[in-house]
Amino acid sequence: MNVGVVGLGFVGLSVSCVFADKGINVHGVDIDEQKLSMINEKKSPFYEPQINQILDKVLNKSLYVNSNLEECVKNSEIVFVCVGTPSNSDGSSNLDYLKKTCKEISEFLNKIHDEKFRIIVIKSTVPPQTIESEIIPLMEKKSSNLMGTKLDICSNPEFLKEGSAIEDMSNPHLVIIGTNNEKTKKKMNHFYSKLYSNSINIMNTTIVNSELIKYTNNSFLATKISFINNIANICNKIPGADVEIIAEAIGMDPRIGKMFLKAGPGYGGSCFPKDVAGFLNFVKLRGYSMPILESTHNINEKQPFEIIKMIKNKLGDIENKTISILGLSFKKNTDDIREAVSIKIVKSLLEQNAKIKVNDPMAMDNFRKIFGEQIEYSDSIESCLSNSECCVILTEWDDFRKIQPKKFLEFMKKPIIIDARRVFDINKFKDLVDITALGHGQ
């Protein structure tokens, strides 16, 4: 089977690699020539575990990438659209790339005179009703009534996570197929059952439910995080309280579940902040309200400042004090700093004239693009700690978890540690260094 993937960003390239690795012929398309030349050299434009190994295996065998959308549409039975739908300043989703792509696909379809029935699958996250009220009419208009007979649009949101994209895509907990057309439903079910040898859960639903599932899913997970962060901030104030113990216990209740209960400096990344803002905007425009999600958003906006409070509680005035930040990416195993809490925290500390040193295994180049020479980039954990008066852990990289108290004592001017990700065993650390851990009341 030949499929197309349009947009080779994080989702598109991960999807392309897994499809190609499972024997599907994939034609990937992107407009960014720099990105294409990197992929054609078997190098992923972003860091993601396993992706380069798969590229090495599949490129120019079952995966071909270039900028030729027309050829991609012509040769494919299913075209997965994975272009970005970033946030506008009011939180609404910017659908420009998606509309442009769908318009172009329709124009190319007009020129093709074969008998194929093609399905355009929208993987990009969109507000509910977008596909039926905007995308389908746009494609119908441009492709002179091919819709339903030779063309259909389907919603198939993606749930993969950065840092474990290949694993998530290879073993998805669920595949949602949102379509109102029987033929499309049959074809898409056949595609995914063959791809995963029937071993996965497929849910068939309507287009609008599929769109809503993606927003609701991400909103619920973000709410779980804000909820536990709220509890962590309360625990900070209660001597002897520990959010980790509380999260472990409530997570054992099968009605709650243990995942996404890790307190931290706030969620970031390319999805949660954007999708929460997008859902809130969608709800507001329709005259409804969702106070619970507003709180999720507000708690997350304030959470980085809880970490700054923890720093100032220990250091007092931070002017001219040297602070080391370990971890810049929005989570471990990625070089992505989109909406990363580290950006907000470093900006605020710089405004208060602190001196900042940073270290991250993967994200330093991206951070340099924002902060340039305003901060010091350390190649090693040791040099980042050297002469520092406070060390803040912002990302839970495994390398940071392995640091022993003696390293802080050896390299820092004063061994003050703010563990905003709970990577250290507080009982082991507390008698040796001055440690404040998020959600651990002292």
Name the residue nearer to ligand UDX (CB basis): 19 or 411.
19
Site map for ligand UDX, 256-275, x if CB under 6 A? ----xxx-x--xxx-xx---
Rounded to the nearest 10°, the torsion over CA 69, 73, 77, 80 is 40
Residue choice 225, 293, 311, 362 for contact with ligand UDX (CB under 6 A): 225
159 binds ligand UDX (CB under 6 A): yes
- Give which of 58, 49, 60 is closest to 162, Cα–Cα: 49
Name the residue nearer to ligand UDX (CB basis): 278 or 415.
278
Residue 56 and residue 48 in contact, taking contact as beta carbons nearer than 8 Å: no
401 binds ligand UDX (CB under 6 A): no
- Give which of 359, 354, 351 is closest to 379, Cα–Cα: 359
Residue 12 and residue 160 in contact, taking contact as beta carbons nearer than 8 Å: no
> Which span sits near ligand UDX by CB under 6 A: 59-67, 138-146, 152-160, 250-258?
152-160
Residue choice 161, 347, 368, 401 for contact with ligand UDX (CB under 6 A): 161
Task: Output the CA torsion sign for 264, 268, 269, 272.
Answer: positive
> Which span sits near ligand UDX by CB under 6 A: 17-25, 156-164, 356-364, 382-390?
156-164
SS3 417: strand
Q: Which of residues 331-350 bind ligand UDX (CB under 6 A)?
A: 331
Residues 429 and 417: their CA atoms lie apart, in Å, by 10
How far CA 231 is from CA of 163, 236, 417, in Å, comes to: 26, 9, 21
Smallest distance, ligand UDX to C-beta of residue 370, A: 17
- Give which of 315, 300, 385, 380 is closest to 353, Cα–Cα: 315
Residues 214 and 232: their CA atoms lie apart, in Å, by 27
Name the closest residue to ligand UDX (Cβ). 271
Residue choice 47, 215, 330, 429 for contact with ligand UDX (CB under 6 A): 330
Name the residue nearer to ligand UDX (CB basis): 180 or 300.
300
192 binds ligand UDX (CB under 6 A): no
Site map for ligand UDX, 290-329, x if CB under 6 A? ----------------------------------------
Other beta carbons within 10 Å of 200:
14
Name the residue nearer to ligand UDX (CB basis): 59 or 169.
169
Name the residue nearer to ligand UDX (CB basis): 262 or 355.
262
Residue 5 and residue 80 in contact, taking contact as beta carbons nearer than 8 Å: yes
Smallest distance, ligand UDX to C-beta of residue 124, A: 11
Other beta carbons within 10 Å of 280:
21
Instruction: Please identify every residue annotated as catalytic.
Output: 271
Size of the site for ligand UDX (CB under 6 A): 19
Smallest distance, ligand UDX to C-beta of residue 248, A: 12
Residues 123 and 125: their CA atoms lie apart, in Å, by 6
Site map for ligand UDX, 358-397, x if CB under 6 A? ----------------------------------------
Residue choice 48, 162, 211, 419 for contact with ligand UDX (CB under 6 A): 162
Q: Which residues of 211-242 are buried (b: 16+ CB within 10 A; e: fewer)?
A: bbbbbeebbebbbbbbbbbbbbbebbeeeebb
Residues 98 and 105: their CA atoms lie apart, in Å, by 11
Smallest distance, ligand UDX to C-beta of residue 90, A: 21
Name the residue nearer to ligand UDX (CB basis): 67 or 298.
298
Smallest distance, ligand UDX to C-beta of residue 120, A: 20
SS3 23: coil
Q: Which amino acid is at 165?
A: A
158 binds ligand UDX (CB under 6 A): yes
For 189, counting Cβ atoms within 10 Å of its Cβ (0-12 exposed, 13-18 middle, 19+ buried), the class is: middle
Name the residue nearer to ligand UDX (CB basis): 343 or 354.
343
Smallest distance, ligand UDX to C-beta of residue 162, A: 4
Name the residue nearer to ligand UDX (CB basis): 62 or 170.
170
Residue choice 160, 166, 212, 276 for contact with ligand UDX (CB under 6 A): 160
Other beta carbons within 10 Å of 329:
29
Q: Which residues contact ligand UDX by CB under 6 A?
A: 158-162, 218, 221, 225, 260-262, 264, 267-269, 271-272, 330-331
